[in-house]
């Protein structure tokens, strides 16, 4: 392992947790978290692991540099799950606050890119 690789491995990642719910806005959050991962902005991580208090997931989340919660609607399932897991220091984005309507938002690459841009800006603020 080179010195560069060693430092990359030890750097705490920015984690993104998506609602990934059954509604269109949940699907959009999933696509956004995956795009943030592909773009190197954040690493999509397992919300179910936080909900289940799975030790490796909890430890990795505790060690994260930053955490982004992406909720689809005002139920805020991601926010609540993180808080119940003991995490309170995170950025929060709710896609319905961006004008999307649950049950009325087509999942498109363009919409995913727009929301991902908002998410990245939130992480950089």
Token pair recorded at residue 69: 């919660």
Each residue of 35-64: pLDDT tens digit? 999 999 999 999 999 999 999 999 999 999
CA distance 63 to 15: 10
> For residues 18, 114, 108 and 102, what is the CA-based torsion angle, rounded to 10 degrees?
60
Query: Predicted confidence band at 10 (pLDDT cuts at 50, 70, 90)?
Result: low
Mean pLDDT of the chain: 93
**How confident is the model at residue 58, as a pLDDT?**
98
**How confident is the model at residue 6, as a pLDDT?**
37
CATH number listed for the domain at residues 12-124: 3.40.50
Domain boundaries, the chain: 12-124
CA distance 40 to 59: 21
Each residue of 64-107: pLDDT tens digit? 999 999 999 999 999 999 999 999 999 999 999 999 999 999 99
CA distance 113 to 90: 21
**How confident is the model at residue 11, as a pLDDT?**
77
User: Which H helix or E strand runs over 123?
Assistant: helix 109-124
């Amino acid at each position: 392992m080179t010195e560069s690789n060693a430092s990359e491995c030890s750097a705490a990642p920015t984690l993104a947790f998506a609602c990934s719910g059954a509604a269109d806005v949940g699907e959009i959050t999933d696509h956004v978290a995956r795009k943030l991962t592909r773009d190197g902005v954040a690493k999509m991580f397992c919300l179910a692991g936080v909900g289940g208090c799975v030790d490796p997931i909890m430890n990795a989340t505790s060690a994260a540099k930053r955490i982004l919660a992406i909720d689809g609607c005002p139920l805020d399932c991601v926010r609540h799950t993180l808080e119940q897991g003991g995490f309170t220091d995170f950025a929060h984005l709710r896609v319905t606050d961006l004008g999307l309507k649950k049950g009325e938002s087509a999942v498109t690459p363009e919409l995913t890119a727009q929301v991902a841009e908002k998410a990245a800006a939130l992480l950089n603020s």
